[in-house]
Protein backbone atom coordinates (compact mmCIF):
# COMPACT_ATOMS: atom_id res chain seq x y z
CA UNK A 1 0.00 0.00 0.00
CA UNK A 2 1.18 3.52 -0.82
CA UNK A 3 1.80 5.97 1.98
CA UNK A 4 -0.09 9.24 1.43
CA UNK A 5 0.67 12.59 3.04
CA UNK A 6 -1.53 15.65 2.91
CA UNK A 7 0.47 18.89 2.71
CA UNK A 8 -1.66 21.83 3.86
CA UNK A 9 -0.94 25.09 2.03
CA UNK A 10 -2.55 27.29 -0.64
CA UNK A 11 -0.02 26.50 -3.39
CA UNK A 12 2.58 23.80 -4.13
CA UNK A 13 5.92 24.32 -2.37
CA UNK A 14 9.41 22.81 -2.55
CA UNK A 15 8.41 20.86 0.57
CA UNK A 16 5.88 18.90 -1.55
CA UNK A 17 8.65 17.73 -3.86
CA UNK A 18 10.86 16.86 -0.88
CA UNK A 19 8.08 14.65 0.52
CA UNK A 20 7.66 12.90 -2.84
CA UNK A 21 11.45 12.46 -3.15
CA UNK A 22 11.22 10.50 0.13
CA UNK A 23 8.91 7.99 -1.62
CA UNK A 24 5.68 9.33 -0.12
CA UNK A 25 2.71 10.31 -2.26
CA UNK A 26 1.96 13.93 -1.43
CA UNK A 27 -1.40 15.62 -1.94
CA UNK A 28 -1.73 19.38 -1.72
CA UNK A 29 -4.59 20.28 0.64
CA UNK A 30 -5.63 23.91 0.19
CA UNK A 31 -7.34 25.86 2.99
CA UNK A 32 -10.67 25.60 1.11
CA UNK A 33 -10.31 21.83 0.70
CA UNK A 34 -9.37 21.43 4.37
CA UNK A 35 -12.68 22.87 5.51
CA UNK A 36 -14.85 21.32 2.77
CA UNK A 37 -16.99 18.44 4.14
CA UNK A 38 -17.01 16.67 0.75
CA UNK A 39 -13.22 16.48 0.64
CA UNK A 40 -12.50 12.99 2.04
CA UNK A 41 -9.04 11.67 1.03
CA UNK A 42 -7.48 8.72 2.82
CA UNK A 43 -4.15 9.83 4.29
CA UNK A 44 -1.50 8.44 6.62
CA UNK A 45 -0.35 11.86 7.75
CA UNK A 46 -1.09 15.53 7.50
CA UNK A 47 1.72 18.13 7.42
CA UNK A 48 1.26 21.80 8.37
CA UNK A 49 4.39 23.78 7.39
CA UNK A 50 6.08 26.76 9.02
CA UNK A 51 4.26 30.07 8.76
CA UNK A 52 0.68 28.81 8.97
CA UNK A 53 -0.33 31.52 11.49
CA UNK A 54 1.46 34.45 9.90
CA UNK A 55 -0.89 36.38 7.56
CA UNK A 56 2.15 37.60 5.60
CA UNK A 57 2.74 33.97 4.50
CA UNK A 58 -0.63 32.26 4.54
CA UNK A 59 -4.35 32.40 5.20
CA UNK A 60 -4.33 28.94 6.74
CA UNK A 61 -5.14 29.64 10.40
CA UNK A 62 -8.90 30.28 9.89
CA UNK A 63 -9.21 27.02 7.91
CA UNK A 64 -7.34 25.08 10.60
CA UNK A 65 -9.68 26.47 13.25
CA UNK A 66 -12.75 25.62 11.15
CA UNK A 67 -11.39 22.07 10.69
CA UNK A 68 -10.19 21.48 14.25
CA UNK A 69 -12.73 18.72 15.05
CA UNK A 70 -12.02 17.00 11.76
CA UNK A 71 -8.26 17.13 12.39
CA UNK A 72 -8.79 15.76 15.93
CA UNK A 73 -10.85 12.83 14.58
CA UNK A 74 -8.19 12.11 11.95
CA UNK A 75 -5.55 11.73 14.67
CA UNK A 76 -7.83 9.83 17.07
CA UNK A 77 -8.53 7.29 14.32
CA UNK A 78 -4.82 6.62 13.74
CA UNK A 79 -3.50 9.43 11.55
CA UNK A 80 -0.27 11.29 12.19
CA UNK A 81 -0.11 15.09 12.29
CA UNK A 82 3.15 17.04 11.89
CA UNK A 83 2.92 20.77 12.66
CA UNK A 84 5.74 23.27 12.30
CA UNK A 85 6.24 26.76 13.76
CA UNK A 86 3.52 29.38 13.53
CA UNK A 87 6.06 32.09 12.54
CA UNK A 88 3.94 34.68 14.33
CA UNK A 89 4.01 35.69 17.97
CA UNK A 90 0.43 34.68 18.72
CA UNK A 91 -0.45 32.81 21.88
CA UNK A 92 -3.55 31.42 20.15
CA UNK A 93 -1.74 30.11 17.04
CA UNK A 94 -2.26 26.48 18.05
CA UNK A 95 -5.76 26.77 19.52
CA UNK A 96 -7.08 24.46 16.79
CA UNK A 97 -5.13 21.48 18.16
CA UNK A 98 -6.88 19.07 20.59
CA UNK A 99 -4.47 19.99 23.41
CA UNK A 100 -3.01 23.16 24.90
CA UNK A 101 0.25 24.47 23.48
CA UNK A 102 1.62 28.03 23.55
CA UNK A 103 4.30 29.24 21.14
CA UNK A 104 6.68 32.19 21.37
CA UNK A 105 8.25 33.35 18.10
CA UNK A 106 12.04 33.64 18.50
CA UNK A 107 14.04 32.72 15.40
CA UNK A 108 17.69 31.69 15.69
CA UNK A 109 19.92 28.57 15.60
CA UNK A 110 19.67 26.32 18.66
CA UNK A 111 21.31 23.23 20.09
CA UNK A 112 18.64 20.57 20.51
CA UNK A 113 18.64 17.73 23.03
CA UNK A 114 16.27 14.77 22.72
CA UNK A 115 14.54 13.14 25.66
CA UNK A 116 13.52 9.54 26.15
CA UNK A 117 12.99 6.90 23.53
CA UNK A 118 10.90 9.10 21.27
CA UNK A 119 11.12 8.30 17.57
CA UNK A 120 11.14 12.02 16.87
CA UNK A 121 14.85 12.30 17.58
CA UNK A 122 15.58 11.46 13.95
CA UNK A 123 13.86 14.67 12.78
CA UNK A 124 17.24 16.46 12.77
CA UNK A 125 19.37 13.56 11.49
CA UNK A 126 20.37 15.46 8.33
CA UNK A 127 21.67 18.47 10.30
CA UNK A 128 24.18 19.47 12.94
CA UNK A 129 22.13 19.16 16.17
CA UNK A 130 24.18 21.91 17.82
CA UNK A 131 23.01 24.54 15.31
CA UNK A 132 19.46 23.86 14.12
CA UNK A 133 17.48 26.84 12.92
CA UNK A 134 14.29 27.16 15.01
CA UNK A 135 11.62 29.85 14.78
CA UNK A 136 10.46 29.71 18.39
CA UNK A 137 9.82 27.74 21.55
CA UNK A 138 6.79 26.23 23.26
CA UNK A 139 6.39 27.96 26.60
CA UNK A 140 3.42 25.80 27.69
CA UNK A 141 2.15 22.46 26.43
CA UNK A 142 0.17 19.42 27.52
CA UNK A 143 2.30 17.03 25.46
CA UNK A 144 5.72 15.56 26.05
CA UNK A 145 8.64 17.89 25.35
CA UNK A 146 10.85 15.40 23.50
CA UNK A 147 13.20 18.01 22.03
CA UNK A 148 14.49 20.91 24.08
CA UNK A 149 16.85 23.83 23.74
CA UNK A 150 17.99 25.71 26.83
CA UNK A 151 15.24 23.99 28.86
CA UNK A 152 12.50 25.14 26.46
CA UNK A 153 10.56 22.70 24.28
CA UNK A 154 11.12 22.90 20.52
CA UNK A 155 9.57 19.49 19.75
CA UNK A 156 6.37 18.38 21.48
CA UNK A 157 4.73 15.00 21.02
CA UNK A 158 1.17 14.11 22.00
CA UNK A 159 -0.65 10.81 21.49
CA UNK A 160 -4.37 11.16 20.89
CA UNK A 161 -6.39 7.97 20.46
CA UNK A 162 -4.56 5.74 17.98
CA UNK A 163 -2.62 8.61 16.39
CA UNK A 164 0.11 11.09 17.19
CA UNK A 165 0.73 14.81 16.88
CA UNK A 166 4.26 16.20 16.65
CA UNK A 167 4.60 19.98 16.91
CA UNK A 168 8.02 21.47 16.25
CA UNK A 169 9.58 24.89 15.79
CA UNK A 170 12.47 23.47 13.79
CA UNK A 171 12.78 25.72 10.75
CA UNK A 172 14.29 23.07 8.45
CA UNK A 173 12.85 20.19 6.48
CA UNK A 174 12.64 17.08 8.65
CA UNK A 175 15.20 14.39 7.87
CA UNK A 176 14.28 11.88 5.19
CA UNK A 177 14.48 9.07 7.78
CA UNK A 178 12.04 10.84 10.11
CA UNK A 179 9.61 11.72 7.34
CA UNK A 180 9.48 8.14 6.03
CA UNK A 181 8.96 6.71 9.53
CA UNK A 182 6.44 9.35 10.57
CA UNK A 183 4.32 9.09 7.45
CA UNK A 184 4.22 5.29 7.53
CA UNK A 185 3.51 5.23 11.30
CA UNK A 186 -0.02 6.49 10.82
CA UNK A 187 -2.79 4.26 9.58
CA UNK A 188 -4.49 5.15 6.30
CA UNK A 189 -7.44 7.17 7.65
CA UNK A 190 -10.21 9.03 5.83
CA UNK A 191 -9.74 12.71 6.56
Confidence of residue 16 (pLDDT cuts 50, 70, 90): very high
Q: What is the pLDDT of residue 126?
A: 85
- Domains along the chain? 4-190 (3.40.50.880)
Residue-wise pLDDT tens digits, 86-96: 999 888 999 99
In the predicted model, what is the mean pLDDT of the chain?
Answer: 91
- Is 80 exceeded by the pLDDT of residue 27? yes
**Which of 42, 62, 44 lies closest to 54, judged by CA?**
62
Residue-wise pLDDT tens digits, 83-136: 999 999 888 999 999 999 999 999 999 998 887 666 787 888 888 888 999 999
Residue-wise pLDDT tens digits, 155-178: 999 999 999 999 999 999 999 999
The C-alpha atoms of residue 13 and residue 159 are separated, in whole angstroms, by: 28
pTM of the full structure? 0.95
Residues 6 or more apart in contact with residue 136 via CB below 8 angstroms: 85, 86, 87, 89, 103, 104, 105, 106, 107, 154, 169
Amino acid sequence: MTCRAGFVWATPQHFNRFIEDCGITCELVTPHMLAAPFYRPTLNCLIIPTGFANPAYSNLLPALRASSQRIGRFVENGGSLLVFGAAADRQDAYDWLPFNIVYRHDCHPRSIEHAGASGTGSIVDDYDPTAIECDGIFTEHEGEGVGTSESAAVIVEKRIGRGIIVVTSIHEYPSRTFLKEFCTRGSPVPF
